[in-house]
Amino acid sequence: MSFFEEKNPEMDRYLENHASSEPENLKKLRRETFQKTTQPHMISGYQQGRLLTIVSKMLNPKNVLEIGTFTGYATLCLAEGLSSDGKITTLDVNEDLAYLPKKYFSESKFSTQINFQIQDAKEFLRNTDEVFDLIFIDADKENYAEYFRLIKPRTKSGSVILFDNVLWYGKVLEENPKQKSTQVIKELNDLVAKDEDFENLILPLRDGVNFLRRK
């Protein structure tokens, strides 16, 4: 959920009204996500979706990785910027919900460029030799730091990585957090800030996006 959506919904509506409109298929997917899932707030949503699309279109990537498909909203946003011979691999472990992203992927003009796999991301990263131009991580917060360690060798100069929910509803300000996810998100943010191979900025969009570029 967005900070403004919770604290100042009028500002949230203002931000949406002054962003590029989302494609009709994404509008339908967003609506169905709220109708058919128990945690619809997990969707990337309008504003973040437009950010992902703009970043992808700027990079025009050939190889994209997404960790955490959910209903496929962010996947389709990232796919908008793919090069004509590009592909996006999107990973999730929720088999029960897989029917929903599969439905929208098959209806999309990017259907042949989307590789949707029900697979543990750590296992995938330990076994792949692929190098990615753009990576978006929005799942399994307790493994964020490990994802960063596994992802780094799978990047090159100019690769962009985006970690979602890195402000964790403000919990990152806790000095001695008891929640494991908060501890790991703080660890990730510290790792990124100290890693001289990357330049980064945390964007205060929705619940915070750590935006990294490999030097």
Q: Where does the chain have alpha helices with state H?
A: 3-7, 9-17, 24-36, 45-59, 73-79, 99-107, 121-127, 144-151, 180-194
Per-residue pLDDT of the chain (215 residues; tens, 9 = 90+): 566 677 778 888 888 899 999 999 999 999 999 999 988 888 888 899 999 999 999 999 999 999 999 999 999 999 999 999 999 999 999 999 999 999 999 999 999 999 999 999 999 999 999 999 999 999 999 999 999 999 999 999 999 999 999 999 889 999 999 999 999 999 999 999 999 999 999 998 888 999 999 99
Q: Enter the tokens of residue 116.
A: 């949707």
Q: Enter the tokens of residue 110.
A: 């990017």
Q: How far is CA 107 from the centre of its chain?
A: 21
From 139, 158, 180, select the one nearest 63 (Cα to Cα): 158
